[in-house]
Amino acid sequence: MFSRRWRSPETDVHVLAVDDSLVDRKVIERLLKITSCKVTAVESGWRALQYLGLDQEKTSPDFVNGLKVDLIITDYCMPGMTGYELLKKIKGSATFREVPVVIMSSENVVARIDRCLEEGAEDFIVKPVKLSDVKRLKDYMFGAATTTTLDPPDNNNNKRKLQEMSSPSPSPSPPSTSPSTSPSPPTMSPSTSPSPPTVSPSPSPSPTPPTVSPPFSPSQLDSPTMRLKVTNSDQA
């Protein structure tokens, strides 16, 4: 019923960007920095897992002390491990399953988009990625206040404010799947629909209130990495 909302982080939003293309890595890094994010850019799914401390097969959650990742944005088509496979691993991890994951792809394939969203991806961006895509993402995930824009703010980006609960606002900024001309695919922006039709926030039926997982110590709960929903989430 209520839209997903991540707390506005007290420090800069830290984004882990994953792309095997050097050119694309540089571009996404710049796009993110311009929107006031801290960026760690890696070239593969495996490097991403390494960075997150998820590369070991361990039965108990592995905490990487002090690691704060607020958003993971990954290319879909990568050699070795695809963005989809990376998404699954992240969503399957205790430590990072709450971190929003956004998929980028040069191909606008509805089945692919659906599959990613069903697996818990927050959004899907068709490449080439534009500044407006990144601004939109950051604004609706972390609040417009956290984005310093170079241009005068436009209404679309400011539609969603932190305090705003679910009320579906009128058609938000252009779907992230521009420049395709196909009918607008289901972009899972929180304000588009009260309850996302195909997305289950986490594969397991784990409840979202802070007391969810025993291994988490109180200090972990305060960590932005534990991106727990602070709203009364009635995730339908």
Partner 1 sequence: MEQNHTKRQIKVTRNSLFEQGYLDEQFTQLEDLQDDANPNFVEEIVTSFFSDSTRLIRNVETALENYPLDFCKLDDYMHQFMGSSSSIGAKKVRNECTQFQEYCKARNDDGCIRAFQRVKQEHATLKRKLEAYFQVSL
Length of the chain, in residues: 236
Minimal distance in Å, beta carbon 14 to partner 1? 20
Minimal distance in Å, beta carbon 12 to partner 1? 16
Measured from the CB atom, is 128 or 209 closer to partner 1? 128
Minimal distance in Å, beta carbon 22 to partner 1? 5
Measured from the CB atom, is 27 or 69 closer to partner 1? 27
Measured from the CB atom, is 7 or 130 closer to partner 1? 130
Minimal distance in Å, beta carbon 138 to partner 1? 15
Minimal distance in Å, beta carbon 100 to partner 1? 23
Is the four-CA dihedral 35, 36, 37, 43 of positive or negative sign?
A: positive
Q: What is the 3-state secondary structure (H, E, C) of the chain?
A: CCCCCCCCCCCCEEEEEECCCHHHHHHHHHHHHHCCEEEEEECCHHHHHHHHCCCCCCCCCCCCCCCCCCEEEEECCCCCCCHHHHHHHHHCCCCCCCCCEEEEECCCCHHHHHHHHHCCCCEEEECCCCHHHHHHHHHHHHCHHHCCCCCCCCCCCCCCCCCCCCCCCCCCCCCCCCCCCCCCCCCCCCCCCCCCCCCCCCCCCCCCCCCCCCCCCHHHHHCCCCCCCCCCCCCC
Measured from the CB atom, is 17 or 27 closer to partner 1? 27
> Whole-angstrom Cα distance, residue 38 to residue 179?
27
Instruction: For residue 27, give both structure tokens.
Output: 């571009």
Summarize as ranges the residues that interact with partner 1 (CB under 8 A): 20-24, 26-27, 30-31, 34, 77, 106, 127-131, 150
Minimal distance in Å, beta carbon 71 to partner 1? 19
Measured from the CB atom, is 109 or 131 closer to partner 1? 131
Measured from the CB atom, is 24 or 139 closer to partner 1? 24
